[in-house]
């Protein structure tokens, strides 16, 4: 059964998110506030979630009236907006980033990665060749297109941040596909480590599932 996302509230402003989700194979339906009980039952009995725009009156009413523990409930809300206990927060962002976080929740619990990925769109130079990365984690990133190196080969990476700073990484290609490659990497210096952690924390802060994740915890585990 394909996952279904029911959207309630200010749906005209979420049209781009709907399009991004559909492009990834997610079924998206509108959730009429007058039929919310039927929507909750559909989510409860099937595979999917209810996405509520907490910024709209209908969305706010739905959050106040329904038990968020009954079904997966994801609320579009600013980082400082109050939400009922147990409600997952989706911070307003670019459609592709929001769609990435929705897919995180749809994959729960099978896709809770030990080192969660964050969605980015950054320029990367791999041994001097330009490419882009769409997601990064504490120990790796995905590069598009795949660099012209073999699996297992070491590479030097430079990740360009939006503010003009660069992060230098030492990496190794661990898998290749037609559209890109997975690269295991680590910061080349202490200064690069600080920038890398700052990038990760900024992305994790907006994740419904990983907002409270400590990416450094595994480094100090017994």
Give 84-96 pLDDT, tens digit per residue: 877 888 999 889 8
Who wins on pLDDT, 107 or 65? Answer: 107
The CATH H-level superfamily of 118-214 is: predicted glycosyltransferase like domains (2.40.10.220)
pLDDT band at 101 (very low <50, low <70, confident <90, very high): confident
Q: Which regions of the chain carry the CATH code 2.40.10.220?
A: 118-214
User: Does the pLDDT of residue 201 top 90, yes or no?
Assistant: no
Q: Where in the chain is the domain with CATH 3.40.50.2300?
A: 4-106
Counting Cβ atoms within 10 Å, is residue 193 exposed (0-12), middle (13-18) or buried (19+)? Answer: middle
pLDDT of 111:
42
Q: What is the pTM of this model?
A: 0.58
Q: Which residues pair with 50 in a beta bridge?
A: 6, 73
Span 70-99, average pLDDT: 85
CB 63 within 8 A of CB 189: no
Distance CA 33, CA 35 (A): 5
Give the pLDDT of residue 1: 55
d(CA 24, CA 36): 25
pLDDT of 87 reads 83
Binning pLDDT at 50, 70 and 90, where does residue 73 land?
confident
Task: Report, at the CATH architecture level, how domain 4-106 is classified.
Answer: 3-Layer(aba) Sandwich (3.40)
What is the pLDDT averaged over residues 205-213?
66
pLDDT-derived band at 168, boundaries 50, 70, 90: very high
């Amino acid at each position: 059964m394909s996952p279904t996302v029911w959207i309630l509230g200010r749906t005209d402003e979420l049209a781009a998110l709907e399009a991004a989700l559909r492009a990834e194979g997610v079924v998206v339906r509108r959730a009429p506030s007058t039929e919310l009980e039927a929507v909750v039952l559909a989510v409860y009995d099937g595979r999917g979630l209810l996405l509520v725009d907490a910024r709209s009156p209908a969305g706010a009413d739905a959050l106040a009236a329904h038990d968020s523990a009954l079904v997966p409930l994801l609320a579009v809300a600013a980082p400082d907006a109050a939400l009922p206990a147990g409600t997952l927060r989706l911070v307003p962002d670019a459609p592709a980033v929001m769609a990435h976080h929705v897919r995180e929740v749809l994959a729960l619990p099978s896709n809770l990665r030990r080192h969660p990925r964050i969605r980015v769109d950054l320029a990367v130079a791999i041994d001097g060749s330009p490419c882009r990365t769409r997601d990064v984690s504490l120990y790796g990133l995905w590069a598009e297109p795949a660099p012209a190196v073999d699996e297992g080969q070491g590479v030097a990476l430079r990740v360009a941040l939006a503010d003009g700073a660069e992060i230098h990484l030492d990496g190794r290609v661990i898998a290749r596909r037609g559209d890109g490659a997975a690269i295991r990497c680590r910061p080349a210096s202490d200064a690069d480590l600080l920038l890398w952690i700052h990038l990760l924390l900024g992305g994790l802060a907006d994740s419904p599932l990983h907002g409270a994740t400590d990416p450094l915890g595994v480094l100090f585990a017994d």
